[in-house]
Structure 1
C-alpha cells in the first residue's frame, strides 16, 4: 500500500505557491497545513489551495500533529532558525536553497537532524530532474570521455530595490546564495568533489552584496569549471559539459531544462528531450517520499556532506570578495 505524506508549508511567498501547485500533482503528497507570520496571509494561501490547517505562526505550524514533512520557503537568512524549529518539533524537512547562510549553520542544522534521526535535504530541485538523471547516466558510462571543462551561467536583471531579498544583506542577498548555487552544484555533481583551488572576482554593489561574479574552479589534471552570475544583466543561462569525446549542452535555463544537445566527435548532434512533471518541483518531492519510504534520512543525490562542502566553498568565495552578512559580524 502506498504511503501518503502530509506536508506543511512554512511561508507563503512566491516560491511556496509554485511548490504547492506541483505538490498537488504528486499522488502520495497531501498538503495539510500552512504557516505564516499572520493569520490573514495563511488564510489567503490556504483558500487558494484548499489547505485545511492555517497557522498564524511558524511555531504553530511545526506543532501541528498532522504534519509529517515541512517545506521551508523563507529567504536564505531565515533557513537556519526555521530548520532548527522544524527539527526540534520532530518534523522532516525540505529546505529551499541556499540551505543556510554559511557552512557553520549548515553543520549545526545537519548535526541536529542526524541526532534526531530525521530526514533533511537541501532543495536543489535541479538534482532530481529527468534531464539531470540522464547527465548522471552519461557521466557514469563515460559517454563524454574524460570531463575537462564545465561552463555555466545564471544571470538576470531584476528591478533594483535595496530592501528586497536579492539585494538586502540582512536577507542573505547577492547572486551567490540565490542563483550561484546552481552552477556551483553542477560543478560539484560533474566532478564529484570540491575544487582544489579557485580564482574569482566580483562586483560588490551599494548594499554590500555580490551583484556580478566570475569564478574558475580548478581540479587536478588541468580540469576546470567556469561560472558567471549576475543581477545586473541577462546571461545566456545555459551550461555545457566538455569531455574528450565531445560535449553536452544543457539548454537554457540549465537548472530547469527539459532539453539537451549531445555532440560527440564524428557524429551528428543529438537532441535529447526529458520532459518535466509540472513545473519541476515534483521530482524533488518524489525523492523526499522515496527516501522516507526507505527509512533514509538523506538523499544519495543531494547528500548532506556535499551540502556542507558547497557551503564551505561559497564561504571561501565570499571571504575573497569581502562579503559578510550582518548575522556573521
Structure 2
C-alpha cells in the first residue's frame, strides 16, 4: 500500500453530539477507519464503539492516547478540556484534530502549538466551515470580486436552547455562553474574508451565572467597511452570512456554518441559487484534508493554519475582555 492510500486510523475523545456526527462521516471516507473511542464512562464508550464499528472502547483518554494503532485523534470534549486532551495526545505522537474553539484563550492555543512543534506532530483546529464546498464557493466569488469589493458583512448565529445551568452550553467552568460556542462562526466569517479589523466594538447580555447570553460585535475596517456580527442563545436567528459588495450580494443561506446553499444576487440581473448536494453531516471535508496532510507528512494545515487559529482566538479574547467575561 502506498503512503497516498494508507488507511488513517482514528480515535475519538469525548463522545457527545458532535462526535456522533463526526463518526458517521468517517464511515463515508475511503482509506479511513474509526479505530477507537474514549469516554470517562465505559458503558458509553462501548455503546458508541458498537454503533460505529470501532475496534476499541476505552474508559480512559490516556489509554486511547497511548494506543500504538491510532494515527489521529479527534477531540470533541468541552472547550475547557481541549488543551489538556490535545497535549496528552500530541505527547504520545498522535496527530490531533481539535474541535473549535481550539482552546480557552491564546495562551492555551500557543502552548498546544508549541507541544505539536516539539513532537513534530500534526495539529489542526477543527473549524469545519472552512472546508465545506459551499463556503469555499462563496470565498472564491469574493476573492475573484465577482461583484467587486466587499462593502459590508452581516453574519449571525442564534438559537434558543432549553436553559439548563448544568449543561455544557451554559456552564462557566466549561467555557459556556454564546461567544465561544457559536459567536466564533460570525467572527470566522469576517476574518476569513476581510481579515483583522482595525478596531472592534461589542456589547453583551448575560445569564445570572455570568456567561454571555448574547453578543453583538462590529468590526471596523478601512474605507468605512464594517462587519456586523451577532451570537445569541436567547432567540433563533436567520444564521446567515451576507456579503454586500459593490455590484451585488454573496449570501450564504441559513445555517451558513454547516452544509448550506449560496445565493448570488447581482444589483442588476437575475439571482442565482446554488445547492451543493450534501449527503453527509459535512465533517468529512475537514477530515479528508487532515488525512491528506498526515499522509504527506505535514505538521500544519495550509488552510486552517496556526496563524489563523491564533488570530481567531485573539479576537475572541479581545471581545471577552471588552465585555468583561471571565471564565472560572
Considering the TM-score relative to the shorter chain, is it more than 0.5?
A: yes
The question of whether the paired residues in 1 share the 8 Å contact of 2:138 and 2:252 is answered with: no
CA RMSD of aligned residues (A): 1.1
Report matched runs for 1:1-329 at 5 Å: 1=2, 2-191=5-194, 193-326=195-328
Please list every run of 5 or more consecutive structure 1 residues that lacks an aligned counterpart in the other structure. Answer: none
The question of whether the paired residues in 2 share the 8 Å contact of 1:150 and 1:226 is answered with: yes
Please list every run of 5 or more consecutive structure 2 residues that lacks an aligned counterpart in the other structure. Answer: none
Q: Distance in 2 between matches of 1:148 and 1:118?
A: 40
Q: Secondary structure at the match of 2:257?
A: helix
Spell out, residue by residue over 1:97-134, the C-alpha distance to the aligned partner (whole angstroms, 9 max, x if none): 11101111001101111222211111111110111121
Where has structure 1 moved over 4 Å in runs of 4 or more? none
Q: Secondary structure at the match of 2:303?
A: coil
Q: Distance in 1 between matches of 2:72 and 2:293?
A: 12
Structure 1 residue 38: Cα displacement = 2.5
The alignment's TM-score, normalised by the length of structure 2, stands at: 0.97
Q: Secondary structure at the match of 1:254?
A: coil
Structure 1 residue 274: Cα displacement = 1.7
Structure 1 residue 14: Cα displacement = 1.3
The alignment's TM-score, normalised by the length of structure 1, stands at: 0.96
Structure 1 residue 239: Cα displacement = 1.3
Spell out, residue by residue over 1:222-242, the C-alpha distance to the aligned partner (whole angstroms, 9 max, x if none): 111111111011111111011
Q: Distance in 2 between matches of 1:113 and 1:281?
A: 23
The question of whether the paired residues in 1 share the 8 Å contact of 2:259 and 2:282 is answered with: no
Spell out, residue by residue over 1:139-180, the C-alpha distance to the aligned partner (whole angstroms, 9 max, x if none): 221112111211111001100011111111001001111001
Q: Distance in 2 between matches of 1:49 and 1:175?
A: 31
Structure 1 residue 243: Cα displacement = 1.0
